[in-house]
Amino acid sequence: MKFAKIPMATINRLSIYVRTLQELLEGDVDVISSERLAKQCGVNPAQIRKDLAYFGEFGVRGVGYHVADLVNQIKEILGLNRTWNLAMVGLGNIGSSMVRHGNFVKHGYIFTAAFDVDPQKVGKKLPNGLIVNHVDELEDVVRERDVHIGVIATPASAAQSVANQLILAGINGILNFAPVQIQVPDCCHVENVDFTIKLDCIAYHLSSGV
């Protein structure tokens, strides 16, 4: 399913909606109004209706949304009606924590490969059963294990080289935790996660009183 010119903010909110809806589903909620859903997601009802309208018609006027149906529909939109295999490159504090975090599996993201250059880490078995491979083996292992998304948690100095290896291995989606902007071809989508940028936003609001 492909849609053109969808604002990234809308995609981000869809992720919030589907997680909220899944919690409601687990709580045996069958139908929910846009007003109640909006309140639980921290947005207004009009925003939810506008976001969903990009993708078609949802819900029943005067009734609301059938929770199970809306979960499935949003999952299809986001490509979450399947599992995604991940490769972690860099097993420092961030990388190690992510690989052993059960929340990724819950949402359909499975770490199927892990890489490092540290001799004390290469060859070790991780809590999820993965054996850490040397980064020199990245291209072969990524292809062998059908990895879809690469996660970079290396020092900044190694990030671009790792990104190049991932792209050569056929990876077109990268989540980058290294504190540097990596350069990739147009076919590859990168999401950069820099916690200090988020802290800058908080600092701005605290300092300006906004």
Known binding-site positions? 90-95
Written as one string, the DSSP assignment of 40-54 is: HHTS-HHHHHHHHHT
Where is the binding site for NAD(+), in residues?
90-95
Distance CA 159, CA 201 (A): 25
Radius of gyration of the chain (CA): 20
- Record the tokens describing residue 102, joined without a space: 């059960």
Q: CB atoms < 10 A from the CB of 171, how many?
A: 22
> In what order do the strands lie in the sheet containing 149-152?
133-134, 109-116, 84-89, 149-152, 173-176, 189-192
Which of 144, 74, 77, 147 has its CA nearest to residue 109?
Answer: 147
Residues with Cβ within 8 Å of 179's Cβ and at least 6 positions away in sequence, in order, are 156, 194, 196
Distance CA 84, CA 26 (A): 23
Q: CB atoms < 10 A from the CB of 135, how many?
A: 20
